[in-house]
C-alpha cells in the first residue's frame, strides 16, 4: 500500500511521516539545511497483518510552489493521498493548488491530516478542520479529517486506522508491465538502479524490459518492493529495480523515462486527452503548455478539440515522444506562469496520422473515452465504420485477442493476422475495396505500359488508416483481386510488357547486378559492361524500375529486389534488442560505409527502419514488404 502526502510547504508532511515511520524523508543535504522538502521522499512502515503485504509506503511531495513539478512527479502515480494542513496556518495557496491537482486527475481516495494541533487551541483545530472539509467537498471528496500532532503523537492511531481500513484502489489485474522512473542512481557492485510505482502488470528478477522512449533493452537483475528484497512485484507496488543491458550502463537514465514490457514500447509525439479546467482557467488554442505525465514534464502545443466551462478534449503536440497509454493521468501547466490550468487523462495515445473533420474526431474521442474497450469498438464502428483492434489493445494495455470477441449484432468483419486485427463494418469494407480497385484501374488506364502501383502508393489511395489499408490489401492479395508484379501491384487483367529491346537486355543486366551480390555495380560500371553510354543505361534501369525489376537505392546504384530483401533481413538480424548503428551494419554486410548508409537511408524511406540518434530500429517485416521476387 502506498500513500502520498501533499500540502503547503512547512505544514508538517515530513514530520508526520517521521512520526509514523521513524524515517526522515529529507535525504538531500540542501533539504536538511533549509528544513524544506525539495524532491520526492520515501519511507516505509511494517504493519504485519494490517495491510496487504504487511508494509505501508509513504511518498512525501514538495509543498513549495517552486517545486510543483516535483510534486506532480509523485502525485500522478498515487491513488490514495493524505492532504496535510497545519492548524496554525490553515489552508494556504499550495493547499488549494494541490487539492485542485488531485481533483483534476481524479485521485480516488483522499484523507486530510490537520497537523500541529499542539500549537493552537481546540477551537482553532475545529475551525480549520471544518474549512478543509468544505474545500474537499467542493472538490468532490468526502474526506475524513484527522487532527494529529507529530510532536505529541496524538491522533496517529486514528490516522493509522484510516490508512489500514481504506479499501485498495481498483487496478487492472492484467496487462504488460509499466513503471515511470522517478529516481535513478548507481550502487557499487550492483549497477544502475531505478525506482517508481508500478502502474501496470508485474515484474520478476530475470525479466527483460525496454527503457522507453530510448528503446534500450534492460534485464532485471534484482528488485526490492517497499524497501525489502523480493523476487516479484506487481501493480501498485513501490519498487526499486537493479537493471543491466548492453547500453544501459552508458545511458543517461532520467526521471520521466519508463520501463515497459517490450510489446508496450510505442512512444508517441502526439496525444489526445480529456481534461478538466482548473478554477478560473481557460485553454488557449495553439498555446504552449507543459505536460506532466508520469514523472516527466514535456513542452507541448495545445489544440482544443472541444471545450466548455468544465473542460473538454484536447490534442497535445509534444516536443519529444512519450510512452503514454489510455487512462494515464496528465496535468497541464501554463508555459508563461507555471500555473496548473487543467488535468485529466489520456484518451488516445496514438492519434490518427490522417486529418479528420473536427466533428468526426470528436465522435471518435467520445467513443475512445469509454472505459469498456468493447463499447469503444462499437462506438468507433458507428463513427467510422472501422476500428483498429491491435492499436486499441496496445493503447489500453490489453490482450489483442480479448478485443476480437466483438459483441453480436455489430455486423463487422475481422481482417488481418492474429495480433493485428482490424474490424470493418460492411459499408466501410466495400468502400475501401472500391478505392483500392479504382486507383489501380485508373493507373492502368493512364499508364498501360507500367506494371502497377507501389505498395505505399496503393495503401495511401485506400483513403483510411494504415492498419486498415494493410489488412484490406492483404485480403485482396489473398483473394487474387490484386496481384504482385515485382515490387509493384496490379489488377490480374492488366498485363504490361517491356519493350522488346529492353526485354532482350534484361538477362545480361540481371546477371551483372546479381554478380555484385550485396554490392551491385554502379550505373557507370554497368554501362561499361554493356558498352553503352551511362545516360542510356540509367534510362534503361529507370524503365525496369517501373516494372519492379530493379530498385534505385542510390542515385548511381540500382539493386535487384531480392538483394534489397536480403539486406533488409540482415538489418532485422541486427535490430534486436537494442538497435544497431551504420557501422554495425557495414561490418555485418561488408558492403562499404557509403553503400551501407545509402541502403539504410533507403530502408528508412521504405518505413522498414527508423533512425533515432545513431541507432536504427526495425519497424516492419522485410519478408512482407520486400519478399516478392520479380517475374
Query: Cis (ω within 30 of 0) for the bond into 213?
Result: yes
pLDDT digits (tens, 9 = 90+) for 193-222: 998 888 899 999 999 999 999 888 899 999
- Of 190-194, 347-351, 576-580, the range with the lowest mean pLDDT is 576-580
What's the pLDDT at 275?
93
pLDDT > 90 fraction of the chain, expressed in percent and rounded: 36
Burial of 443 (0-12, 13-18, 19+ CB in 10 A): buried
Predicted confidence (pLDDT) at residue 471 exceeds the cutoff of 70: yes
Query: What pLDDT, on a 0 to 100 scale, did the predictor assign at position 449?
Result: 75
- Note whether 369 and 409 are within 8 A (CB): no
Tens digits of residue pLDDT in 70-90: 767 666 777 788 999 999 989
CA dihedral 460, 464, 467, 470 (to 10 degrees): -50
Q: Decide: helix, strand or coil at residue 79.
A: coil
What's the CA gap between 345 and 163, in Å, rounded? 26
How much is the pTM?
0.80
For the chain, list the domains and their CATH numbers. 2-165 (3.40.50.300), 178-264 (2.40.30.10), 271-348 (2.40.30.10), 353-496 (no CATH), 500-626 (1.10.10.10)
Read off the pLDDT of each residue in 518-533 and give the average, rounded to a whole number: 91
Per-residue confidence (pLDDT) for residue 628, from 0 to 100: 45
Q: How confident is the model at residue 29 (pLDDT cuts 50, 70, 90)?
A: low
For residue 517, give the C-alpha cell.
Answer: 551480390
What pLDDT, on the 0 to 100 scale, is given for residue 265?
Answer: 92
Between 267 and 545, name the one with better pLDDT.
Answer: 267
Residues 6+ apart with CB under 8 A from 316: 270, 271, 272, 273, 289, 291, 300, 301, 302, 303, 330, 332
pLDDT band (50, 70, 90) for residue 289? very high
The pLDDT, as a whole number, for residue 401 is 79
Neighbours of 543 (CB within 10 A): 16
As a whole number of angstroms, the distance between CA 434 and CA 415 comes to 16
Buried b (16+ CB within 10 A) or exposed e, 605-615: ebebbeeeeeb
Mutual angle of helices 93-105 and 68-75, in 10-degree steps:
40
Between 319 and 227, whose confidence is greater? 319
Residues 6+ apart with CB under 8 A from 620: 606, 607, 608
Tell me the C-alpha distance between 533 and 298, whole Å: 56
* More reliable by pLDDT, 73 or 473: 473
Q: Please give the span between the terminal C-alpha atoms of the chain, in angstroms, as a whole number.
A: 65
What number of residues does the chain have?
A: 631
3-state secondary structure of 207: coil
Residue 31 clears pLDDT 50, i.e. is over it: no
Give the pLDDT score at 97. Answer: 85
Quick one: pLDDT at residue 631?
Answer: 36
Amino acid at each position: 500500500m502506498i500513500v502520498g502526502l501533499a500540502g503547503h510547504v512547512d505544514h508538517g508532511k515530513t514530520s508526520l511521516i517521521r512520526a509514523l515511520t521513524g524515517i526522515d524523508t529529507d535525504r538531500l543535504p540542501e533539504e536538511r539545511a533549509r528544513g524544506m522538502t525539495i524532491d520526492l521522499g520515501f519511507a516505509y512502515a511494517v504493519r504485519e497483518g494490517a495491510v496487504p503485504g504487511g508494509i505501508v509506503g509513504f511518498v512525501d511531495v514538495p509543498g513549495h510552489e517552486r517545486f510543483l513539478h516535483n510534486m506532480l512527479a509523485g502525485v500522478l502515480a498515487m491513488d490514495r493521498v493524505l492532504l496535510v494542513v497545519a492548524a496554525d496556518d490553515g489552508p494556504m495557496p499550495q493547499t488549494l493548488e494541490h487539492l485542485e491537482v488531485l481533483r483534476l486527475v481524479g485521485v480516488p481516495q483522499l484523507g486530510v491530516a490537520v497537523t500541529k494541533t499542539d500549537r493552537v487551541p481546540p477551537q482553532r483545530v475545529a475551525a480549520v478542520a471544518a474549512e478543509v472539509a468544505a474545500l474537499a467537498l467542493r472538490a468532490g471528496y468526502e474526506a475524513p479529517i484527522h487532527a494529529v500532532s507529530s510532536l505529541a503523537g496524538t491522533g496517529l492511531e486514528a490516522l493509522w486506522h484510516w490508512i489500514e481500513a481504506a479499501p485498495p484502489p481498483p487496478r487492472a489485474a492484467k496487462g504488460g508491465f509499466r513503471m515511470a522512473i522517478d529516481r535513478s542512481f548507481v550502487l557499487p557492485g550492483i549497477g544502475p538502479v531505478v525506482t517508481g510505482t508500478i502502474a501496470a502488470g508485474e515484474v520478476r528478477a530475470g525479466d527483460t524490459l525496454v527503457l522507453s522512449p530510448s528503446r534500450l533493452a534492460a534485464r532485471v537483475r534484482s528488485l526490492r518492493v517497499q524497501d525489502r528484497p523480493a523476487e516479484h512485484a506487481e501493480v501498485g507496488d513501490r519498487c526499486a529495480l537493479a537493471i543491466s543491458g548492453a547500453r544501459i550502463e552508458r545511458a543517461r537514465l532520467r526521471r520521466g523515462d519508463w520501463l515497459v514490457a517490450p510489446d508496450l514500447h510505442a512512444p508517441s509525439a502526439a496525444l489526445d486527452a480529456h481534461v478538466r479546467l482548473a478554477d478560473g482557467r481557460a485553454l488557449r488554442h495553439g498555446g504552449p503548455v507543459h505536460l506532466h505525465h508520469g514523472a516527466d514534464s514535456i513542452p507541448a502545443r495545445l489544440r482544443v478539440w472541444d471545450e466548455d466551462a468544465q473542460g473538454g478534449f484536447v490534442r497535445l503536440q509534444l516536443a519529444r515522444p512519450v510512452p503514454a497509454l489510455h487512462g494515464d493521468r496528465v496535468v497541464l501547466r501554463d508555459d508563461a506562469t507555471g500555473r496548473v490550468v487543467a488535468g485529466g487523462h489520456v484518451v488516445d495515445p496514438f492519434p490518427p496520422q490522417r486529418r479528420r473533420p473536427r466533428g468526426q474526431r470528436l465522435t471518435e474521442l467520445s467513443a475512445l473515452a469509454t472505459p469498456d474497450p468493447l463499447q469503444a469498438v462499437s462506438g468507433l464502428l458507428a463513427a467510422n465504420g472501422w476500428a483498429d483492434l491491435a492499436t486499441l489493445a496496445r493503447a489500453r494495455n490489453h490482450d489483442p485477442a480479448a478485443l476480437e470477441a466483438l459483441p453480436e449484432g455489430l455486423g463487422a468483419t475481422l481482417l488481418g493476422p492474429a495480433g493485428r486485427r482490424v474490424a470493418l463494418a460492411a459499408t466501410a469494407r466495400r468502400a475501401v475495396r472500391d478505392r483500392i480497385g479504382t486507383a489501380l484501374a485508373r493507373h492502368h488506364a493512364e499508364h498501360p505500359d507500367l506494371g502497377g502501383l507501389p505498395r505505399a502508393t496503393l495503401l495511401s489511395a485506400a483513403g483510411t488508416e494504415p492498419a486498415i489499408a494493410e489488412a484490406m490489401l492483404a485480403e485482396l492479395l489473398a483473394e487474387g483481386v490484386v496481384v504482385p508484379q515485382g515490387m509493384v501491384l496490379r489488377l490480374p487483367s492488366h498485363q504490361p510488357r517491356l519493350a522488346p529491346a529492353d526485354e532482350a537486355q534484361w538477362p545480361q543486366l540481371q546477371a551483372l547486378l546479381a554478380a555484385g551480390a550485396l554490392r551491385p555495380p554502379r550505373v557507370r560500371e554497368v554501362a561499361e559492361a554493356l558498352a553503352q553510354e551511362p545516360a542510356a543505361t540509367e534510362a534503361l534501369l529507370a524503365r525496369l524500375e517501373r516494372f519492379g525489376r530493379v530498385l534505385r537505392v542510390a542515385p548511381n546504384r540500382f539493386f535487384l529486389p531480392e538483394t534489397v530483401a536480403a539486406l533488409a533481413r540482415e538489418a532485422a538480424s541486427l535490430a534486436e534488442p537494442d538497435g544497431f548503428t551504420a557501422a554495425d551494419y557495414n561490418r555485418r554486410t561488408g558492403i562499404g560505409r557509403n553503400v551501407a548508409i545509402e541502403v539504410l537511408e533507403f530502408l528508412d524511406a521504405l518505413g522498414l527502419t527508423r533512425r533515432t540518434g545513431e541507432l536504427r530500429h526495425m519497424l516492419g517485416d522485410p519478408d512482407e514488404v520486400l519478399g516478392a521476387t520479380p517475374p
